[in-house]
Amino acid sequence: MQNSEASLPPVEASFEASWPPPPAVPTDEPNAYLGQTFRFQFRGNAREYFGIWIVNILLTIVTFSLYAPWAKVRRLRYFYGNTVFYRRKFDFTGVPTRILIGRIIALGVYFGASALAQVSWQASLIGFLIIFLLVPWLVRSTIRFRARNSKFGNSRFYFTGTTKEAYILALKGILIYIFTLGIFFPVLFWYFKKYTLDNLQLGQLRFELHADWPDYMRAMYVPVFLFIGIVFVLGLFVAFTLQVGSSSPTQFGIIVAVIYMIAAFMIWPLMMARIFITTWNKATLGRSPFQTDCGQMHYAWIVMTNWILKILSLGLLSAWAAVRLYQYQIVSLTLTLKNDPDRMYNLAQDDPNAIAEELSDIFDIDISL
Amino acid sequence: MQEQNITFYDGQISKPYPATIAPIDRETVLICYNQQQRRYYYADMQLIGALGQIQPVIELKDDARIEFPQALPDWFELNKKHVQHSIWKLERSPSLILFSVVFVAAFIFAILRWGIPSAAHYVAMQLPADTIYKLGDEAQEQVFKLTAPSTVPLARQKQIIQSYQDLVANGQPAKVLFRAGGQIGTNALAIPNNTIILTDELVNLAKDDHEIIGVLAHEQGHLVERHSLQQALSSLGFSVLLIAVTGDSSALFTTLPVALVGASYSRNFESDADLYAMQVLDKNHISSLHLANFLARMEDDVRAEEEEKQPQGKSEEEEEGGIGSFFQSHPATQERIAAIRQFNQQQRLSN
């Protein structure tokens, strides 16, 4: 058994002296934890997850993809269930059979749309338009389903964002994007993060994102400017050395391609890192603030090398790469407790169906930001 | 001892209680926590089995939750527990994990090697012939930008087109165009809007008209087999597979492997087109060695040009098999020539 305890950074006040813990007994002195900072921990490891991941693929193949919902639940559960805070685990309680039904309906819609495309291009255009118009609803339903089936201890997450809000935000986002010629695209990220976090509840406690849109402008434009600077210096260097040798259009083409590759490799991971840091340093749950101490360069390095290693290993290192990034994110997080984690309500709610989540899965709408 | 320690959440607040669970009869269990008792039916339980080191959990109808500190006790009657337990064991046993790796690798290899190409071939042949004509028109425009109007005399052009119509077209005539090569040099292109482009350099390099017929037949093969469409379809199929396995859909991560595998498919298309050309030549009683000769001359020509540019640097011709040749984009010309010679010999033996 591999224990990640040794490699963890020092925790301000650790409740994790022994593992597995005895059934949790609340401390005798109430409020002993108040104002104290606790770190999130991740107990999974790549070796264990590799077994789950490869068996998921095997069973999905053998069952002609009928197993896919179970695979999905097991994957999510592995990450949630091994995430520990204040001696309580997270969990994902989505029921695979219900997801399977959602998936079958989604497939039906998909094939319906494809069949429509065979009739005429106008019909397929209308189908495409309908799906496009459904996107805000799909996104909202997906977040809602995911939240409702996520637990911390035994309190459920709950998403209160309305469909109307989702459509208004989508419209605002599109207008801003068009009228600023795309320059203000980080504002769209800000809208999305704010919509997801400000409407998220754990028990009766509400998440809140205190970041403002200029924070996201900074998060996403610093990598761009950094990159422009690097390209400028490199360009000068290349221009100088090429003067000495002989330059040809093909050489120039190769240089442009290399610079483009570096751009894609560097800018996006750094943006991801900075968005993560900006979000979690400005988020609160009830009165308790989150903090993350992850380094942007370290984070970007992990994303970048994950890509490279996945390609070099022909996908075999995917499981390891997923654990590596998730562990880095989770272990960097702390929460300063100002609410009692024993006094959160369960907040039972009606069960939104899985259809929307599965629809957005089939149509490959990536909302994992 | 049938009683077992558990952690119990009462379904109202998030506080975990240390509790015990014990059987009452075959349908119900008793839970004691915090000086209280609750009775639950198996029918009201949703078992979430163990996963890695996460122990089994039971979600109850009233939103209460039971967390077991170890595997489910033997007396526990929930009938789903065996299935869940065997999957859990499967995920943890090294030999089965190894088997899964080998099976999945073999499966993916088979899909890549045979599944995707034959599916792409089937779909490409089902689709209407003009599916990617628009794309072809755009490609043609690009080629026109890179090249210049031809200087081959019109009479010669007409003569070549005539022999193409007579010997190669076989009821599916394509438009044959001539261009001065410029940046693309000695080349022949099959463009999916049913067009074949020959460069002046290629026409001039040929020492025998049969060689040009061979090249035209090769390009005709690309068009008849709809290789461009097949290429597009197989790339699409492969990226879907890739995303399904790795769960990563970021643009960069998918484009590179897709490009690599696409290159390997295009290699197969080249040999397919060669085969098509050889059959056309054979039908017209032209020796397929003409095509081999032309390929050899073309390679000599390219090498000479390269050496002119950088006399000391030898061009790195990789001629290894295995993975290297699977990922090689341009088919090794030597390999193609050898294949043609072999075909030629077989033909001679069978006649």
Model pLDDT for residues B164-197, shown as the tens digit of each residue: 888 888 788 888 889 888 777 788 888 888 889 8
> Phi and psi (nearest 5°) for A93?
-115, 20
CB A329 within 8 A of CB A294: yes
Residue, of B319 and B230, whose pLDDT is higher = B230
Residue, of B153 and A230, whose pLDDT is higher = B153
Using a CB-CB cut-off of 8 Å, the residues of chain A touching B247 are 318, 322
CA dist A54 → A102, B93, B101 (Å)? 24, 12, 7
CA pair distance B24, B41, nearest whole angstrom = 10
B14-18, B82-86, B213-217, B275-279: which has the minimum mean pLDDT? Answer: B82-86
pLDDT for residue B61: 82
Q: What is the mean pLDDT of residues B272-291?
A: 87
Residue, of B282 and A79, whose pLDDT is higher = A79
Angstroms from B211 CA to nearest CA on chain A: 30
Q: Which single residue is written with the structure tokens 């399904």?
A: B244
B5 DSSP β-pair partners: B20
pLDDT for residue A323: 95
A11-15, B45-49, B71-75: which has the minimum mean pLDDT? Answer: A11-15
Taken in order A211, A216, A219, A225, the sign of the CA dihedral is negative
pLDDT for residue A244: 53
User: Which positions ≥6 away from B74 have C-beta within 8 Å?
Assistant: none
CB contact (8 A) between residue B100 and residue A344: no
Using a CB-CB cut-off of 8 Å, the residues of chain A touching B19 are 23
Q: Which single residue is written with the structure tokens 């890179």?
A: B146
Residue, of A80 and B303, whose pLDDT is higher = A80
pLDDT for residue A293: 92
> Phi and psi (nearest 5°) for B240?
-60, -45
CB B194 within 8 A of CB B174: yes
* Chain B 230-249, residues with CB within 8 Å of chain A CB atoms: 242-243, 245-249
At B232-258, the pLDDT tens digits run 888 888 877 776 665 555 555 566 677
| HSE value, Cβ hemisphere, 13 Å, CA-based, for B49 | 18
A150 DSSP β-pair partners: A92
Which of A77, A42, A82 is closest to A56 using CA atoms?
Answer: A77
Percent of chain B scoring above 70 in pLDDT = 87
CA pair distance A356, A101, nearest whole angstrom = 11
CB contact (8 A) between residue A310 and residue B252: no
| HSE value, Cβ hemisphere, 13 Å, CA-based, for A309 | 15
CA pair distance B62, B58, nearest whole angstrom = 12
Confidence tier at B323 by pLDDT (50, 70, 90):
very low
Q: Which chain A residue is nearest to residue B249, measuring alpha carbons? A: A366
B7 DSSP β-pair partners: B18, B67
Using a CB-CB cut-off of 8 Å, the residues of chain A touching B97 are 50-51, 54-55
Q: What is the mean pLDDT of residues B268-279?
A: 87
DSSP characters over A40-95: -EE---HHHHHHHHHHHHHHHHHTTTTTHHHHHHHHHHHHHHTEEETTEEEEE---
Q: Give the DSSP letter of residue B281.
A: H
Measured in Å, how far apart are chain A's first and last C-alpha atoms?
Answer: 32
CB A198 within 8 A of CB A208: yes
A212-226, B102-116, B126-140, B321-335: which has the minimum mean pLDDT? Answer: B321-335
Confidence tier at B309 by pLDDT (50, 70, 90):
low
At A64-79, the pLDDT tens digits run 878 888 888 899 999 9
Low-confidence ranges of chain A (pLDDT < 50): 1-28, 348, 352, 354, 360-369
Token digits for B111? 């899909």
CA pair distance A103, A88, nearest whole angstrom = 31
CA pair distance A325, A330, nearest whole angstrom = 9
The answer to whether residue B111 neighbours chain A at the CB level (below 8 Å) is no
Angstroms from A29 CA to nearest CA on chain B: 15
Select the residue of A52, A58, A345 nearest B103 (Cβ to Cβ): A58
Q: Which single residue is written with the structure tokens 């006399």?
A: B311
CA pair distance B175, B220, nearest whole angstrom = 10
Confidence tier at B308 by pLDDT (50, 70, 90):
low
pTM of model > 0.80: no
Angstroms from B294 CA to nearest CA on chain A: 26
Whether the per-residue pLDDT at B274 is higher than 80: the answer is yes
Chain B interface test: which of A28, A55, A82 (most B C-beta within 10 Å): A55
Whether the per-residue pLDDT at B200 is higher than 70: the answer is yes
pLDDT for residue A326: 94
Q: Which chain B residue is nearest to residue A320, measuring alpha carbons? A: B246
Which of A186, A74, B202 is closest to A82 using CA atoms?
Answer: A74
CA pair distance A332, A291, nearest whole angstrom = 8
pLDDT for residue B32: 92
pLDDT for residue A104: 78
Select the residue of B13, B16, B104 nearest A57 (Cβ to Cβ): B104
CB contact (8 A) between residue A77 and residue B54: yes
Whether the per-residue pLDDT at B87 is higher than 80: the answer is yes
pLDDT for residue A249: 61
pLDDT for residue B327: 41
Q: What is the mean pLDDT of residues B61-85?
A: 82
Q: How many residues can be counted in chain B?
A: 351
Chain A interface test: which of B7, B51, B97, B309 (most A C-beta within 10 Å): B51
CA-angle at A275, arms to A145 and A210, nearest 5°:
75
Tell me the three state secondary structure of residue A19.
coil
CB contact (8 A) between residue A307 and residue B257: no
